[in-house]
Structure 1
Amino acid sequence: MLGPVQWGHRTVTADHEGIPSPREGGPAGDIAVDLGCWPGPQSLALARLGFGPISAVDTSETLLTELARHGDQNPAIRPIRADIRDALPQVADPGTVGAVVCMGDTLPHLQEKSDVVAYRDLTRPLIGTDRFLPVRTAHDRLLTCFLEYLDDDTVMVHDLLHTRSDGTWTLQASSYPKLRIGSGWLVSRCRGAGVDIQHDANGPRGMRFLHARKP
């Protein structure tokens, strides 16, 4: 997988889209948990919206270190290295959390559906050249991904990173599996867990937004 380290320096900014404000959070309070926080854009957004403390959970020490560097002026954010599948009991007591977010491509990176909010819906297969998706472009770097559909639940993502140095282009390739999670399936799972669906719709950049609230 070609992540943020391979792409180079980035500026992490707060991403408020899809995150409810504390007054919409319900009776549990202002405590928040960011599952699969990456370098923390949603954690920073939660802090700016008034949530705190915020447990920012990820398995990558590199990304958590980057979050700590960007969030060192905000003591409300607590980077925690843990598996998002069993992190909640470790970071908060039952009934004390006002908001839990799981944004970006976190859910599709899990190994199985039984492990499973914003996510990318990959259930509708792309055909032919539509399977090649431009991801990011700079004057000396081009990142494209190619999708290979393995079965009903899995798509293999092939990252193709072209970098230019001294007038010569070099290709670096890697692959990783992602889950194909349909919105209907995830809504059904949420309802089965006893939460009410507040919002379920397509968002920008091919993402799907699901906002659920515990009654």
Structure 2
Amino acid sequence: MTDAVDHYARLLAEHYTWMLGGDIPAAASGQLELLRKLGVHAEWGTSDASDDARGEAVAVDLGCGPGTQTLALVRLGFAPVVAVDTSAHLLAELTATHTGTGGAAEALRPLRRDIRGALAEAAPTDSVAAVVCMGDTLPHLPAKTDVTELLGDVARALRPGGHFVATYRDLTAALHGTDRFLPVRSSDDRLLTCFLEYVDDDTVLVHDLLHTRSAAGWEQRISSYPKLRIPAQWLVEQCRAVGLEVRHDETGPRGMRVLHAVKP
């Protein structure tokens, strides 16, 4: 078993865009619509901000991956968008996609860093119009205390009226037997399946089984890493505890939990 950072470096990063369907701009369009429905926009980054809060609409994408949320935030008019990830490979993909689709260089600020502590480095207090942590990033943190500390950083960084959006899988309901084998994606040259092993009330061990085909035949690679089991009500309570007002919390597309909160 390894941690999430090593797991992505060793196995998933080079295949992550393929996992998402292979078309990042198209995937970004889906995220754009989700953010719009939640009321996230870059008119001073908030629907609630006063005239005194006007200025550049900075957004931070925690765990940006190849950029589906980052590109959506750019399209919404946020600038700059600070894109945080530990994977140099995924940050390079994001930058190439942003440039290739005509994005302005100054609209994107890639930051290779663990999401823990990234806001303290990238964002002064009360300066950020939106923070997103989407695509099941929160469960990659090592412990629930890290989630709580991250939410405190979010509340500190957001300007009044600023938005926080998280999407994640609620893994608290255990699957059993063969239901624990989950097909992720398959194509002519790749097949990815994951297997879930429930360790305790807070942790599930994810085993990713990747098969790739070359001229020499099929090759199997396996890697495992722990993910947090985050109860939806617990996350709502943690947001409220740091002073965020939860406006939306329900299961969204593809079974992902969607939480939207605003700093009063």
- 1:104 aligns with 135
Q: Which protein has the bigger strand share?
A: 1
Cα deviation 1:109-128 (Å, max 9, x = unaligned)? 11011111011111110011
Report SS of the residue matched to 1:139. coil
Structure 1 residue identity aligned to 2:32 = H
In the alignment, which residue of structure 1 is the partner of 2:205?
156
Matched residue count:
215
Q: Secondary structure at the match of 1:22?
A: coil
> Which residue in 2 is equivalent to 1:165?
214
Q: Counterpart of 1:150 in structure 2: which amino acid? A: V
Consecutive unaligned residues in structure 2, runs of 5 or more = 1-6, 148-165
Alpha-carbon distance change, 163 to 67 in structure 1, aligned in 2, over 3 angstroms = same
Q: Return the letter of the residue paired with 1:36.
A: G
Residues 149 and 7 of structure 1: is their aligned pair in 2 closer, same or farther, counting only changes over 3 Å?
same
- What is the match of residue 59 of structure 1? 86
Q: Does 1:114 align with 2:145?
A: yes
**Partner residue of 2:41 out of 9, 16, 21:** 21
CA separation in 2, counterparts of 1:173 and 1:37?
A: 24
Q: Distance in 2 between matches of 1:4 and 1:17?
A: 25
Contact 1:18 1:211 in 2 (8 A): no
1:4-41 per-residue CA deviation (whole Å, 9 max, x = no partner) reads 41467633222324321224724255211111111111
Q: Mean alpha-carbon deviation: is it higher for 118-127 or for 61-70?
A: 61-70
Q: Which sits farther off after the overlay, 184-193 or 50-59?
A: 50-59
In 1: Cα distance, 2:110 partner to 2:173 partner: 35
Q: How does 1:22-61 map to 2 (within 5 A)?
A: 22-23=42-43, 25=46, 26-27=48-49, 28=53, 30-61=57-88
Q: Specify the alignment match of 2:14 in structure 1.
A: 5
* TM-score for the superposition, normalised by structure 1: 0.93
For residues 144 and 93 of structure 2, what CA distance do their matches in structure 1 show? 29
Which residue in the other structure is 1:92 paired with? Answer: 123
1:170 Cα offset (Å): 2.6
- 8 Å CA contact 1:105, 1:118 repeated in 2: yes
User: 1:64-95 CA deviation, whole Å, 9 max, x = no partner?
Assistant: 11111112332211101122111112112211
- Kindly state the Cα deviation for residue 162 of structure 1 after the two structures are TM-superposed: 1.9
Unaligned runs of 5+ in 1: none
The residue identity in structure 2 corresponding to 1:69 is: A
Out of 59-68 and 178-187, give the one that drifted further: 59-68
Higher relative contact order (CA 8 A, sep 6+): 2
State the TM-score, normalized to the length of structure 2: 0.76
C-alpha displacement at 1:61, in angstroms? 1.4
Q: Which amino acid aligns with 1:106?
A: T
Q: 1:8 to 1:47 in 2, by over 3 A?
A: closer
SS, match of residue 145 in structure 2: helix
Aligned amino acid, residue 159 of structure 1: D
Q: Where does residue 74 of structure 1 map in the other structure?
A: 104
Tell me by how many angstroms 1:163 deviates: 2.2
**Structure 2 contact 13–87 (Cα < 8 Å) conserved:** no
Residue 178 of structure 1 aligns with an amino acid whose one-letter code is K
Q: Greater share of helix residues, 1 or 2?
A: 2
Residue from 179, 185, 195 that aligns with 1:136: 185
What's the CA shift string for 1:131-183, capped at 9, x where partnerless? 01010110121111000000000000001112233484332211111010110
